[in-house]
């Protein structure tokens, strides 16, 4: 179970980073909590779907899931940059409350594909992934919120930097594969 827990932490890092960026840009507390819950739910069901569907869906779609993540991170960075002079909170609308959790849980889908080789306790693994991702998302929002108090205007630039860095890291992972 230790290896499953460590995988859960690794799967939660994208969610943590995006939450940190959104927290730096003062996303509303209610929507931040809602996003953490939705991310948690996605991190339960994506590995479950990955385990059920397996490699078949990747053969049909024939697209690298990291490409979707790159596009979403860059899109959010552009939105943050365009809104950098605006002092209002970042609004998480209905669409972003689905797109963000989907994008940060795509990697858990691929983990679900190979999960049978790691453990027979799949439901427990899905629950662990879910709890880790929800917890790390909330931590990201909290750290981002308090960091924003001290960094003021520079916080948005840090959020933009984090999102662009995540996009670049995912781009590098595409080329390494």
Q: Which of 2-11, 35-44, 158-167 has the highest mean pLDDT?
A: 35-44
Kindly report, residue by residue over 121-146, the tens digit of the pLDDT. 889 999 999 999 999 999 998 888 88
Q: Which domain holds residue 102?
A: 2-176
The model's pLDDT over 62-89, given as tens digits with 9 standing for 90+, comes to 666 667 667 766 776 776 677 655 555 5
CA distances from 144 to 58, 88, 106, 132, 155 (A): 35, 15, 23, 18, 8
Angle, to 10 degrees, between the axis of helix 65-82 and the axis of helix 2-24? 30
So what's the pLDDT on residue 129? 93
Which residue reads 């990697």 in tokens? 107
Span 154-168, pLDDT tens digits: 767 777 787 788 788
> Where do runs of H (alpha helix) occur along 54-95?
55-61, 65-82
Q: What total number of domains does the chain contain?
A: 1
- Has this prediction a pTM greater than 0.75? no
- How does pLDDT run across 92-114, given as a tens digit for each residue? 677 878 888 888 888 788 778 77
């Amino acid at each position: 179970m230790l290896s499953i827990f460590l995988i859960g932490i690794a799967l939660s890092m994208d969610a943590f980073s995006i939450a940190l960026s959104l927290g730096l840009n003062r996303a509303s507390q209610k929507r931040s909590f809602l996003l953490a819950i939705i991310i948690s739910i996605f991190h339960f069901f994506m590995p479950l779907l990955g385990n059920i569907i397996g490699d078949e869906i990747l053969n049909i779609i024939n697209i690298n899931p990291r490409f979707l993540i790159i596009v979403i991170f860059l899109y959010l960075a552009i939105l943050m940059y365009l809104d950098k002079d605006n002092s209002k909170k970042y609004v998480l609308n209905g669409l972003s409350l689905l797109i963000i959790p989907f994008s940060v849980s795509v990697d858990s889908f691929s983990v679900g594909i190979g999960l049978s080789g790691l453990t027979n306790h799949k439901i427990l693994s899905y629950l662990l992934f879910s709890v880790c991702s929800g917890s790390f998302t909330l931590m990201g929002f909290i750290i981002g919120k308090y960091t924003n108090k001290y960094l003021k205007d520079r916080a948005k630039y840090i959020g933009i930097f984090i999102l662009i860095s995540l996009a670049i890291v995912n781009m590098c992972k595409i080329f390494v594969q």
